[in-house]
Amino acid sequence: MRRILLGGAAALALTLPCCPCARAQGAQFEKLPRFDGAKALAYTRQFVTETGPRWVGSPGHARAEQFIKSQFRHDDLVEDTFVAKTPIGPVTMHNFIVKFPGRKNGIIVVASHYDTNYPLRNIAYVGANDGGATTGLLIEMANYLRGKPNDGYSVWLVFTDGEEAIKNWTDADSVYGSKHLAKMWAADGTLKRIKAFLLADMLGDKDLDITRDMSSTQWLEDVVYKAASKYGWQSFFFQTKMSVGDDHTPFLKLGVPCADLIDFDYGYDNSYWHTAQDTLDKLSAQSLTISGDTLLETIQLLDEGRK
């Protein structure tokens, strides 16, 4: 995928609970949003199995586009098609934005990329965790949001294209879809309405350990941690920290509050990342439940104006 690490990983001096299965109890817990990680994993499995490798321009990428569109036939779906200048020449790419309106004046974006790594196109790399798992997560999040009254901010689910580098990860050769969206939304005024940009990346890992991204907006990362703590999920968050370049970077540069939720420790010493070992058997419904719960409660806290 990604990703230039802007700083080394370091252990945080945190005292964290608890049994991995522990969840908050009592009346407060009953009021929290409940995300179905098993369904998210089922969507992930279907998406990865039906599309295979999804590098831009491939048949699998075209299948991925159709898969995403088929999930939102009855929703407010916007297909954002653009041509990116890449090291292999002009490439047509597609972002997808699914809009769930709210009554408050503002937008919370939850985003994930769906493409796979172009340089790995010849090794049957399917990106089950790296792009697949969070695509499934957003599809199931839509099921949670769909048909419910929303007194808070509008929620836009964004499936970005071209996150992966075509040749080597640089500012110029990466995050094509989010760069295009950030520029377009700055021009049409949308950017001013975005209250938070929440990025989901590599969150299906069975051994979940979500990094604190030091390049993200730190008050928003604190809201994410507060949301996780309400469920008793805090031991899965922020035991390590680093600065990460990812799809949130173009929005950060334009002043949008951003939080990158990413588990950048995939396999021992990150050994599964960007290899043919990034397969469905490495994923967990519980990890997707933890991530989905936390994102939904983060949205709720932002709606309530809590930091």
Sheet of 210-213, strands arranged across? 10-11, 237-242, 210-213, 258-262, 194-201, 104-113, 153-160, 89-100, 76-86
Say if 225 falls within a structural domain. Answer: yes
Give the CATH number for residue 110.
Answer: 3.40.630.10
* Measured CA distances, 10 to 78, 81, 237, 239 (Å): 40, 39, 14, 8
Tokens of 193: 């309405």
Q: Which pLDDT score, from 0 to 100, does residue 14 have?
A: 36
Instruction: Show Cβ contacts of residue 205 under 8 Å, excluding neighbours closer than 6 positions.
Output: 129, 133, 263, 265, 266, 282, 283, 284, 287
The two structure tokens encoding residue 102: 């709210």
Dihedral sign from CA coordinates of 265, 267, 270, 273: negative
Is the pLDDT assigned to residue 244 strictly greater than 70?
yes
- Does residue 181 carry a pLDDT above 80? yes
70 Cβ contact partners less than 8 Å away, ≥ 6 residues apart: none
Residue at 3 is within a domain:
no
pLDDT band, residue 17 (cuts 50/70/90): very low
Mean pLDDT in residue range 40-69: 98
Whole-number pLDDT of residue 133:
98
Question: Would 251 be classed as within a structural domain?
Answer: yes
CA 178, CA 186: separation in Å to the nearest integer? 12
Q: Report the number of distinct structural domains present in the chain.
A: 1
SS3 196: strand
* Structure confidence by residue, pLDDT tens digits, 18-50: 444 444 455 566 789 999 999 999 999 999 999
pTM: 0.92
Domain range spanning residue 67? 10-303
- Domain assignment present for residue 247? The answer is yes
> Would 299 be classed as within a structural domain?
yes
* 279 domain residue, yes or no: yes
Q: Note whether residue 1 is domain-resident.
A: no
- The span from the CA of 115 to the CA of 54, in Å, is 5
Cα 7 off chain centre by: 21
Distance separating alpha carbons of residues 20 and 208, to the nearest angstrom: 10
